[in-house]
Amino acid sequence: MIGVISYLVFFSTVAAILAIAVLGLNLQWGNTGLFNGGVVASFGAGAYGTLLLGGSAQAGHLGGYELAYPVALLGGLIFAGVLAWVIGVLTLRLRHDYLAIATFGVAVAFENLMRNATWLAGGAQGLRGFERPLRQTLGDGFLYNVAFFAFVLALLVLTYVFLERLTASPFGRMLRAIREDETAARSLGKSPSRARLVAFVTGSVIIGLSGALYATFYAFVSPQDILPILTFQIWAMLIVGGAGNNRGAMFGAFLIWGAWSVSGWALARFAPVEAQLFTGSIQFILIGAVIVGMLLWRPQGLFPERLIVSQPGDFSTTKP
C-alpha cells in the first residue's frame, strides 16, 4: 500500500511540474494566441540555469557556483525570461505558423547548443545537479518526495491563482482582444506588440519554473530532456485539457501524463508475454489515437474556455 502511495506522490509531482509548463503555454496560446513551438527552450533554460547556478563544482564545464537553492531557482527563471525576451523581440512580429516555426527553430538550436557546448554545461553527457535541497533533514525516501510534492503543488497553485487574476484583469482582457482581432485592439489605443511580448515572456518564465523544478527533482538534466517531443507532449496536454482555460490546462497535464504512465504500466502487466516487447509501440498508438479523437470530436478540449464579460457595464444608467 505504501508503495502505491509512494508512486502516486512521485507521479503527481511530475504531473504537477508539467502542469506548470502547460499553464505557461496556456497564457501564450490560450489567452494571447501566440503559437509557441519552442516550449522546450524555456523549459531547458530554467532547468540548465538552475543547475548551473546551484550545482556543485564539476570539472570541464561552467557551473558549480553552489548558490542557495532559492537564488539558483530565481536565476533559472531570470535566464528563461531573458532568453524569451530576446526571442520575443526578434520573432513576435511573426504570425501563427511562422512564429511556430521560428520558435521551434530556437528550441532546436538551444538543444544543439547544450549538446555541443561541452565547456558550457557538459554537452551530451548532461549536467549533474546538486544535492536535492533539504535532503539532510528529510532523508532520501518517501518523506522527501512528499515534501517536494507539497512544494511543487504550492507553486502550481500560486501560478494558477496568478494567471486567473491576470486573465480576469484588464490586461487579460487586452490579451484576448489581441488574440481575437489585433487591428481592433490597436484602434482602441492598445499596443499589441508590447502586450504580446509581456505575455510571451511571462509564459516563458512560468515554463522555465517548470523546467527548474524538473531538474531539481531529477538532480540531472541532459539534452535528452529537451528534445522536441516535450514540446509536443505539453501541447497535447493543453489541447486535450482545453486551451484558454487554466483548470483545463492543469487537468490536461495530469490526464495525458497519467495516460502515458498508466498505459505503460497496464500493458506491462496485462499484455501477454509475446506482446510485451511491443508495448512501447502500442502505447504510442493509443496516445496518438486519444489526441486525434479529441481533435476530431472535441476540439475545444475537455474544459472549454469560458468567455465571460469580465466587467458587465450597467447599461440601464447609460443614457443614449
Q: Interface residues with another protein (CB under 8 A)? A: 3-4, 6-7, 10-11, 14, 58, 112, 115-116, 118, 122-126, 128-129, 140-141, 144, 217-220, 222-225, 227, 229-230, 260-261, 264-265, 268-269, 276-281, 283-284
Q: How far is the CB of 257 from another protein (least distance, A)?
A: 8
Is the dihedral angle over the CA atoms 231, 306, 11, 72 positive or is it negative?
A: positive
Q: List residues bridging with 221 in a β-sheet.
A: 127
Exposed, middle or buried, 18 (CB in 10 Å: 0-12/13-18/19+)? buried
Q: Cα–Cα distances in Å, from 193 out to 61, 124, 205?
A: 38, 37, 18
- In the complex with another protein, the residue whose CB is nearer, 82 or 153, is 153
Q: Assign 309 to helix, strand or coil.
A: coil
Assess contact for 303 and 248: CB atoms under 8 A: yes
- In the complex with another protein, the residue whose CB is nearer, 125 or 169, is 125
From the list 33, 36, 60, 209, the residue with the least C-alpha distance to 127 is: 60
Q: How far is the CB of 292 from another protein (least distance, A)?
A: 19
- In the complex with another protein, the residue whose CB is nearer, 97 or 131, is 131
Q: How far is the CB of 59 from another protein (least distance, A)?
A: 8
C-alpha cell at 50: 538552475
Q: How far is the CB of 150 from another protein (least distance, A)?
A: 17
- In the complex with another protein, the residue whose CB is nearer, 21 or 185, is 21
Q: List residues bridging with 220 in a β-sheet.
A: 128
- In the complex with another protein, the residue whose CB is nearer, 35 or 260, is 260
Q: How far is the CB of 23 from another protein (least distance, A)?
A: 18
Q: How far is the CB of 226 from another protein (least distance, A)?
A: 10
Residue holding cell 494567471?
163
Is the dihedral angle over the CA atoms 50, 54, 56, 60 positive or is it negative?
A: positive
- In the complex with another protein, the residue whose CB is nearer, 57 or 308, is 57
